[in-house]
Amino acid sequence: MSYFDAASAAPLHPVARQALLASLDEGWADPSRLYREGRRARLLLDAAREAGAEAVGCRPDELVFTPSGTRAVHTGVEGALTGRRRSGRHLIVSAVEHSSVLHSAEVFESAGGTVTRVPVSRTGAVTPEAYRAALRPDTALACLQSANHEVGTVQPVAEVAAVCREAGVPLLVDAAQSVGWGPVEGDWSVLTASAHKWGGPPGVGLLAVRKGVRFALQGPADERESGRAAGFENIPAVVAAVASLRAVRAEATEEAVRLRELTERIRERVPDLVPDVEVVGDPDRRLPGIVTFSCLYVDGETLLHELDRSGFSVSSGSSCTSSTLTPSHVLKAMGVLSEGNVRVSLPPGTPAEEIDRFLSALPGAVAAVREKLGAPSPRTAAGEGVLVVDALGKRCPIPVIELAKVIGEVPVGGTVRVLADDEAARLDIPAWCEMRGQEYVGEEPAEGGRAYLVRRLS
Amino acid sequence: MSYFDAASAAPLHPVARQALLASLDEGWADPSRLYREGRRARLLLDAAREAGAEAVGCRPDELVFTPSGTRAVHTGVEGALTGRRRSGRHLIVSAVEHSSVLHSAEVFESAGGTVTRVPVSRTGAVTPEAYRAALRPDTALACLQSANHEVGTVQPVAEVAAVCREAGVPLLVDAAQSVGWGPVEGDWSVLTASAHKWGGPPGVGLLAVRKGVRFALQGPADERESGRAAGFENIPAVVAAVASLRAVRAEATEEAVRLRELTERIRERVPDLVPDVEVVGDPDRRLPGIVTFSCLYVDGETLLHELDRSGFSVSSGSSCTSSTLTPSHVLKAMGVLSEGNVRVSLPPGTPAEEIDRFLSALPGAVAAVREKLGAPSPRTAAGEGVLVVDALGKRCPIPVIELAKVIGEVPVGGTVRVLADDEAARLDIPAWCEMRGQEYVGEEPAEGGRAYLVRRLS
């Protein structure tokens, strides 16, 4: 098996395993106790905090350990918003944040706050100018990920931090995807991360809050972790998390070069090997190990199964794999194709041969799915004909497949009207038009769903 | 070293260690993913939930895993209060709950809710009648621990649950101290527990919510653990927690008998071996492994250091060991002596010889502390004299020591007026009077603190 989903969770690093085992014996006691076992646990926790702070680039008393990256985000956003509630009730987030940030924003909104969602380019990046434009006198907090978890695009964090600093607004950086590669540059105020993304054990998040940032929590708390993460400290996991962070950091520069070459190989080769593919995300400003592409006329879930059978574990932002039946908010915000989406995220140490094996297996897997779904043979449809395609009740990618089948049957200048009720169609029909050089005219309500209008240009 | 603080945290059970190691390799991936590693993680999580539910006595879909017992309590209380907010905004807790319950109650109170704190007897137990009396038409939730964490007293949970059921009010049971010994009896609605108390790893709490109980959370959530515990699942720790729960349960009946004999030995022997000691908690309805006593004229922190030097790790509810400088709320609610407090809580497997060694070491340790503090020789003071003792600025146990020194110097029927500003004096002076057969007249404001009036009766 080749595990290519490190952006979800990385296998435990050998150093983490070793540190965990050792500290299960040394660090199980309550570090607030005065007896020997408690003092020993306290020493381990203090040492981990010091080493963790050094890796993050903050003071030890600015760093607390939470039970997960998600908890770090929830606490970080709540704490900064509550701490600055007298400054105002406005929050800025990018449209492509991790769901933990977006969920926090929704809760804030439903409690009467206002949220501005900063849009991204087609490569998934925000601009400092967009953050500057979003800032208001009542802005309490801005949030920006260091790099995107679905497409790997690196955000201009230092520049956005400078813009926020100028306005006196703290910036929370969700560094979950990047912190294993290096510290976050720039003048951030709050930083969050998640150990299992860099090969640490599950159960550990990092929350760093710079001195001077107003921070207050409202829920029940206790005296542990400076009142910012209630509950008995998970010292063995914390020790293992920090040990593995230092270990991956020590190899980061070299490994980044190697993984970047491997993902570059995928970026270059996939469009040659598989027809009708869109590689998404920024080709240059991106994380070393992540590459994402979408395949027309493919159902993401079926493709994942096909690849799993061939021995590859990858992830997808397609609607079809999500329980909510909506396509990834990241792909949506970027305005790129979401159907048949595949994210390859390589754990450090991935051998080059596994990439070659993947590139050999991918074309057959995609073709098999397309064959099952009856996708059109590329660029063969021709003739005049039908104007309305009824794809009501059909799930992604069927509406696009039906559109592609008939587009050649209307004359150049003619229009196809696709009736569909699947949410993904709203995203994928315009994306298909862009890929195919056809004109997307727009959408309108129709009985039982929406009508999407496409004009044949060639 | 003899570790006698299992009620804080138990060392990792060998079965937990083994299960943790195995599932670090099998259970690190995201269980919501469709590929092989994800499916394997999901299987482990499902199996752990099923086994955990069986041990708790609930359906698997009623049980979620949280990052700690404290989080389970915070979520359980918030969820039940929010779910029933239309029924009313009244909460009942016992006065001797774990701080996580009391913190939740304080947050509820500061948000406009009303809290009734049910008092306890001198042994630390509530009565079903007191809960019945506390119930109101607007009561949203009642909370009661299965057994007390500081003195081991077992609460009448089944009876209180019946009273609540009759009134249509859900009962949340914090079973942190008892769940390793057996399931909670009675018709509870919400149950919480903490794995590191039974020899599981840190990082795992249990939250069981019976079907039909209205439950709603307000903060940011995700799709994990039925929306009741956000953040990446800690599957290796969950698997280890459940495996060790089954292991300790398998030995529970036999081990309970053995530990009960050992703690009974301490209960009986300590008052003979050490003068001026009060053993607290219920002598019969109590947990097998916990015994707690308080020593007059002793500073708890110094005694803990003394015992630590002799090789014993114990805990204390004395003000002197707490960062907040107030004595344990449990001892306060019971109205028993808090100074020189020692909690012995035995991990399963504690050899009998360690108890004998402890009983040999204790008298010398207490005597050494008393000597340092200049405690009065028991029952030797006599004569007439001084009425006012100025102990302002003196910390526990000095005010009581000064009182004991002069009581013999006033005539029978005469009064000693102790001036003190230490919070513990309010608890310990009446407790001393009860132990010594003197009359506690009352307290009144005095310059710089409070004056405590004691009438000599003998």
B348: domain CATH number is 3.90.1150.10
Q: Is A181 found in the same domain as A40?
A: yes
pLDDT digits (tens, 9 = 90+) for A248-306: 999 999 999 999 999 999 999 999 999 999 999 999 999 999 999 999 999 888 899 99
Secondary structure E strands in A48-174 = 63-66, 90-94, 114-118, 139-145, 171-174
Which pLDDT band holds residue A384 (cuts at 50, 70, 90)?
Answer: very low
Backbone phi, psi, residue A154, to 5°: -85, 135
Does B38 sit within 8 Å of A232, measured CB to CB? no
The reply to whether A124 falls in a domain is yes
Mark yes or no for CB contact A315/B24 under 8 Å.
no
For residue B5, give how far its alpha carbon lies from the nearest alpha carbon of chain A (Å).
Answer: 9
* Dist. CA A458–CA A414, nearest whole Å: 10
Q: Which two tokens stand for residue A134?
A: 């979003």
Residues A85 and A144 in one domain: yes
User: Which residues in chain A touch residue B236, judged by CB atoms under 8 angstroms apart?
Assistant: 201-202
In this prediction, residue A320 carries a pLDDT of 46
Identify which has the larger pLDDT, B168 or A377.
B168
**Amino acid type, B41:** A
Of A99, A202, A232, the CB nearest to B202: A232
**Across the interface, do A67 and B69 touch by the CB < 8 Å criterion?**
no
Tokens of A8: 């979800």
Give CA–CA dist A377/A142, Å, rounded.
Answer: 47
The alpha carbon of B240 is separated from its chain's Cα centroid by a whole number of angstroms, namely: 24
Residue B42 has pLDDT above 50, yes or no: yes
- Same domain? A123 vs A259: no
| B412/chain A closest Cα distance in angstroms | 42
Contacting residues for A115 by C-beta, under 8 A, at least 6 apart: A90, A91, A92, A93, A105, A106, A108, A109
**A114 part of a folded domain:** yes
Distance from CA of A162 to the nearest CA of B (A): 28
Give the mean pLDDT of chain A: 93
Q: Which structural domain range is residue A66 located in?
A: 9-250
- pLDDT of A217 reads 95
Q: Which two tokens stand for residue A13?
A: 């690093």
Q: How many CB pairs under 8 A join A and B?
A: 198
d(CA A52, CA A45): 10
Contact A71 B67 (CB under 8 A): yes
Q: What is the DSSP string of B329-380?
A: HHHHHHT---TTEEEEEPPTT--HHHHHHHHHHHHHHHHHHHHHHTPPPTT-
Supply the pLDDT for residue A325.
Answer: 55
Residue A378 lies in a domain: no
Per-residue pLDDT tens over the stretch B196-255: 999 999 999 999 999 999 999 999 988 899 999 999 999 999 999 999 999 999 999 999
ipTM surpasses cut 0.85 = yes
Report in angstroms the alpha-carbon separations of B152 from B155, B170, B200, B201: 9, 24, 20, 22
The average pLDDT across B429-440 equals 91
* CA distances to A40, B202, B228, B314 from A29, in Å: 8, 9, 27, 12
DSSP secondary structure string for all residues of B232-286: ---HHHHHHHHHHHHHHHHTHHHHHHHHHHHHHHHHHHHHHHSSSEEEES-SSSB
Spatial distance between the Cα atoms of A357 and A154, rounded to a whole number of angstroms: 28
Residue B141 has pLDDT above 50, yes or no: yes
In degrees rounded to 5, what are phi and psi of residue B273? -85, -30
Backbone angles phi, psi at A161, to 5 degrees: -60, -40
Whether A265 maps to a domain, the answer reads: yes
Q: Which residues of A touch B28 (CB under 8 A)?
A: 9-12, 196, 201-202
Q: Which of B308, B343, B373 is the last residue of a domain?
A: B373
Q: Is residue B378 part of a domain?
A: no
Is residue A320 part of the annotated active site? The answer reads yes
What pLDDT, on the 0 to 100 scale, is given for residue A319? Answer: 52
pLDDT of amino acid A153: 98
Q: Give the residue from B342, B373, B404 where a domain finishes.
A: B373
CA distances for B250 relative to A171, B175, B253, B348, angstroms? 52, 18, 8, 12
Residue A203 is nearest to which of B220, B234, B304, comparing CB atoms? B234
Q: Are residues B436 and B318 in the same domain?
A: no
B265 falls in which pLDDT band (50, 70, 90)?
very high
Contacts of B323 in chain A (CB under 8 A): 223
Helices and strands of chain B, counted as H and E runs: 13, 16
Residues A106, A220, single domain; the answer is: yes
Indicate whether A163 and A297 sit together in one domain. Answer: no
Which percentage of chain A shows pLDDT scores above 90? 79
Nearest CA in chain B to A28: B11
- Establish if B189 belongs to a structural domain: yes
CB contact (8 A) between residue A232 and residue B36? no
CATH number of the domain where residue A59 is located: 3.40.640.10
For residues B191 and B272, membership in a common domain is answered with no
Does one domain contain both B257 and B148? no
Provide the pLDDT confidence category of residue A413 given band limits of 50, 70 and 90.
confident
**Residue A2 domain-assigned?**
no
Q: Which residues of B touch A318 (CB under 8 A)?
A: none
pLDDT value, residue B325: 55
Rounded CA-CA distance A427/A18 in Å is 47
For residues B70 and A220, give the distance between their C-alpha atoms in angstroms, rounded to a whole number. 10
For chain A, how many structural domains are there in total?
3
Residue A173 confidence (pLDDT) above 90: yes
Residue ending a domain, among B234, B250, B266, is: B250
Determine the pLDDT at residue A377: 57
Q: Are B28 and A11 within 8 A, CB to CB?
A: yes
Chain B environment of A221 (Cβ under 8 Å): 103
- In a shared domain, residues B281 and B335: yes
Q: Are residues B66 and B170 in the same domain?
A: yes
**Facing A34 at nearest CB: one of B37, B218, B308:** B308
pLDDT digits (tens, 9 = 90+) for A385-395: 447 888 888 88
The CATH number of residue B404's host domain is 3.30.110.40
For residue A298, tell me if it sits in a domain. yes
B172 and B71 inside one domain: yes
A196, A58: one domain: yes
- Kindly list the residues from chain A whose CB atom is less than 8 angstroms away from the CB atom of residue B202: 28, 232-237
Of A12, A67, A232, the CB nearest to B24: A12
